[in-house]
Structure 1
Amino acid sequence: MSADTGEGATTGEGAVAGDTGAGSGGTEAGTSTGADTTNTGTSVRATTATGATNTSVRATTATGATNTSVRATTPTGPASTGVPTPPRSAPSPRAAGPRGLDFDKLYAARLQAARARPYLASALFALHVVECRRVPTMGVDRYWRCYVSPGFVDRRPVEELAGVWVHEVSHLLRDHHGRSDRVAKERGLSGPGERLRMNIAADCEINDDAFGDGLVKPEGVVDPALLGLPEGQLMEDYLRRFQLGPRTGEFAWLDCGSGADGLEREWELGADGAHGLSEQERDAVRFRVAQGITGRPGSASAGWKRWAEEAFHPPQPWRELLGAAVRSAASAPGAGEDYSYGRPSRRSAGVPGTVLPSLRRRPPHVSVIIDTSGSVSDAELGSALLEVAAISRAVGGRRDLVTVVPCDAAARIAHPLCKAEGIPLLGGGGTNLRAGFTRALRSHPRPDVIVALTDGQTPWPASRPPCRTVVGLFPRHSRRTTWSEDDPDYVPRSPPAWARVVEIG
């Protein structure tokens, strides 16, 4: 048995040119040691070059029939200790800053909201998202931008975010910012506290029927029941029923943006900001949503159906319309015109010895028929008397030119307005305004204009009266119902085509 071990080292310091090609040489020294060992041999060779930038170690070990060879090459620095160094670790990543808005999660919630409320899809996708860390949750401005807090999106599940999407877009569709401005002007409300109260009232209008049917109610939303208020009312009605106090203390953080109460915030982009919708674009979105609601009957709540009906048929300034209709009828050709001998006609010169009357316009006479049947409430009768005074102003303030005819199933006495301080409105039975028309046309002088104030539950004259006719209809929730005043099978017809119809109230 013999074993041979040889160790050699070569070191170059750079004083003499050598094989490194870098201008460094070397000095060679060798050491040999011999020993005899049975069937075992080990050979190790190490070469270290300090002038180079690498270290090479080769080891070969043979034991019996086993042979293992390991070769490792490790980069080192300018100076080498002759011992392999571990690999350099990767640089530590830079400290992470605040997380941005999770758009994927937010848009997934919007898609879920559109699936739960398909008639709101046009409005949901018309909103432009703006990341904002100053808004507590989510808020909107009147230009259809939606400001979103990244932290709020991270904390809430997708199901709740879908409900918040529907809540915020409802503020814009229902014009809460415009209505808040009008209420503030009419009632003299000002200051952040009153705007917060408007925001709470607007939330009550939305949240009383917004959730359910696939839409989860978000945590901490304003609910009318929490304030002891009834459901199903409008923002203006809720405003009259509560003030800021202990019950509203938990909602002091509430901030849905200027789209909810009309008060602009510092963090909003304003009218000159990017991605805002014009007034025409906003109206187009509302119209498409209203079309979606009316086109799918039964899929929307009562509040949304009421909104869609007003969007298609907005409330009219009926007082102005009624006054304009009366003035138009009174000034139409033929109204208030009659022959008079007060000034002879110019044609009298062609007929010697004969005085011909001339056609002269006189102040028009107006006869007002008031429906006093049992289907008309006392409040509606009171408003009818107010309209009588407005009609007298429409014809120039001549109270002697206005006559009032109370009528239910039979016509009462025709009361000249100038001769009665309090007009007795007798009735309470069935309705037949044909008797009222007959009584008005028999009065002297014959009226130039007839104004009928009724709920429409009446038969109408078979033929057109020989004068202008204006019908003021008191509001009814539905005119398709079968009425049962006298005959349970009787369904009143709508006012005839020859009458000018104005919805009152």
Structure 2
Amino acid sequence: MTAGTPAALDVGKLYAARLQAARARPYLATALFALHAVESRQVPTMAVDRHWRCYVSPVFVDRTPVEELAGVWVHEVAHLLRDHHGRGDRVARERGLTGRGERLRMNIAADLEINDDVYGDGLVRLRGAVLPGHLGLREGELMEDYLRQFRLGPGLRELVWLDCGSGADGLERDWDLGPDGAHGLSGQERDAVRFRVARGITGRPGSVPEGWRRWAEEVFHPPQPWRELLGAAVRSASSGAGSGDDYSYGRPARRSAAVPGAVLPGLRRRPPRVCVVVDTSGSVSDAELGSALLEVAAICRAVGGRRDLVTVVSCDAAAQAVHPLCRSAGIELVGGGGTDLRTGFDRALRSRPDVVVVLTDGQTPWPRRRPPCRTVVGLFPRETARRSRSEDDPEYRPDGPPAWARVVTIAPGGH
């Protein structure tokens, strides 16, 4: 090679690194080998698009050891498996985030989500890879959570080079080949890859990081139409008049001008507080309890990802402890006896929520009085049986949810 001639892509080194990545993370092998490498001198390192192409800088491959390249392969495929491009698009719409600066912030937040799961156990961390601890943040959170916790500034100047491509934040790049370009995967093929990887993860209990296990669980229980309805019902309830409203002197009322010498507080909207009451009685199956935990995560997303504003009460004939939904730690659902969700309502209302969400099969007495906040009921369906008036009769069916509750039926084929 003569002086000044651009280096050719070292394909052998690149693919050796991919093989090393597959050996270190065998449950990701299907996804790693589904990526099609595209040589590009426009990308700073390696980047992906939403169609599962991996754009590779020859200069970057030439100067990076195989051990570090293996970690980059896993990093990039993690963006695609976790749908960071689709999630980035949704967050941008919901929060009004525009411009390359906000997309860079999404890329950083997506990296924070996956980097604590990528490295170690045979994979070397790339120099410059950002971890939550570098920004003083906790590990184990999601991209949407991290986005709320940092802003771009002088302290992040060293990350301006970061560009994992449209597969990491949803914003198309000049080098993208687009949906009609060669070697891209169709939507059906992408879903098939995700499903096979998820199946491989669930088949390796105890040997996979928590973030990947959580992802695999969601892949096996994809969003259903009734889940969208449940989320819409929660959003509607939390945005109604009086929900999430409070007075603040930080934003004086406009009518203060009519009262000289006085500053009147203005009405501001704060994020809604949601309390989820989960029916843990003996008539609710383990599968339905697992579904309930997934609905808690969906409810959290419906209110903007603020886990600190969501609490969970498990209830059979008596209400159990209130669990704040912090991080991704498991929530213990205690119960198994009879059913009386009136005690769950009482416990939930002590925290003065804006919305109460009840996940139940409906075989319970209901409060006689309408709660002072909006109520949404996610109902696990039951076959119709004759109605008995005696609660001691095994075929006893109490009245259905009251008219003041917004009811969403959770389809039996959803999980």
**Cα distance change of structure 1 residues 106 and 186 upon mapping to structure 2, 3 Å threshold:** same
Q: For 1:116-155, what aligned pairs fall within 5 Å after superposition? A: 116-155=24-63
User: Aligned with 1:170: secondary structure?
Assistant: helix
Q: Any residues of structure 2 matched to 1:267-346 within 5 Å, and which?
A: 267-316=175-224, 317-318=226-227, 320=229
Contact 2:365–2:399 (Cα < 8 Å) also in 1: no
Q: Out of 315, 320, 323, which is 1:374 matched to?
A: 320
Q: TM-score, normalised by structure 1?
A: 0.51
What's the offset of the Cα at 1:323? 10
User: 1:464 maps to what in 2?
Assistant: 395
| Deviation of the 1:461 alpha carbon | 7.5
Distance 1:462 1:263, change over 3 A: farther
Matched letter for residue 161 of structure 1: L
1:415 matched to 2:361: no
Alignment TM-score, normalising by the size of structure 2: 0.62
User: Which residue of 191, 212, 215 maps to 2:120?
Assistant: 212
Query: Is the partner of 1:192 in helix, strand or coil?
Result: helix
Identity of aligned residues (%): 63
SS class of match (2:101): helix
The answer (yes or no) to whether the contact 1:322–1:502 under 8 Å persists in 2 is: no
Q: Is residue 110 of structure 1 aligned with residue 31 of structure 2?
A: no
How much does 1:315 deviate?
4.4
Matched residues in 2 for 1:461 and 1:282: separation?
A: 52
CA distance in 2, matches of 1:233, 1:256: 20
**Alignment partner, residue 265 of structure 1:** 173
Equivalent in the alignment of 1:245: 153
2:150 and 2:230 map into 1 onto residues whose CA distance is 35
Taking the aligned partners of 1:117 and 1:416, their CA distance within structure 2 comes to: 55
1:238-267 per-residue CA deviation (whole Å, 9 max, x = no partner) reads: 001000012211100100000000000001
- How far apart, CA to CA, are the structure 2 residues paired with 1:385 and 1:461? 35
- Counterpart among 134, 137, 141 of residue 226 in structure 1: 134
After superposition, the Cα gap between the structure-2 partners of 1:256 and 1:307, relative to the gap in structure 1 and judged at 3 Å, is: same
Conserved in 2, the CA contact under 8 Å of 1:321 and 1:502?
Answer: no
**Structure with the larger helix share:** 2
Cα deviation, residue 389, structure 1? 11
- Partner letter of residue 14 of structure 2? L
Tell me, in whole angstroms, the C-alpha distance in 2 between the residues paired with 1:216 and 1:241.
27
Change (3 A) 1:318 1:271: closer
Q: Report deviation, 1:372.
A: 5.8
Q: Deviations over 1:19-70 (max 9, x none)?
A: xxxxxxxxxxxxxxxxxxxxxxxxxxxxxxxxxxxxxxxxxxxxxxxxxxxx
Cα displacement (A) at 1:387: 5.1
- The one of 78, 81, 84 equivalent to 1:170 is 78
Q: CA deviation at 1:98?
A: 1.6
| Residue 386, structure 1, aligned to residue 336, structure 2 | no
Amino acid at match of 1:269: L
Task: Return closer, same or farther for 1:370/1:298 CA change in 2, 3 Å cut-off.
Answer: closer
CA gap of 1:386–1:276, structure 2 versus 1, over 3 A, is same
Mapped contact 2:355–2:373 kept (Cα < 8 A): no
> What SS class does the counterpart of residue 180 from structure 2 fall into?
coil
Distance 2:101 2:189 in 1: 31
SS in 2 for 1:139: strand
Quote the Cα distance in structure 1 between the aligned partners of 2:2 and 2:87: 50
Deviations, residues 206-256 of structure 1 (Å, cap 9, x unaligned): 101211111111111011111111100000000010000122111001000
**Structure-2 separation of matches of 1:108 and 1:218:** 17
Instruction: Say if 2:163 is the partner of 1:255.
Output: yes
Deviation of residue 373 (structure 1)?
1.1
Pair member with larger Rg: 1
Alignment RMSD: 3.8
**5+ unaligned residues in a row in structure 1: which ranges?**
1-92, 325-368, 392-403, 407-413, 424-439, 444-459, 471-498
Cα 1:461–1:162 change in 2 (3 A) is farther
Q: Deviating runs (4+, > 2 A) in structure 1? A: 93-97, 314-324, 369-372, 374-391, 420-423, 440-443, 464-470, 499-503
Paired residues of 1:127 and 1:144 also in contact (CA < 8 A): yes
> Unpaired runs of 5+ in structure 2?
234-314, 326-343, 375-386, 402-408
Length, aligned pairs only:
288
More strand by share: 1
Alpha-carbon distance in 1 for matches of 2:20, 2:190: 23
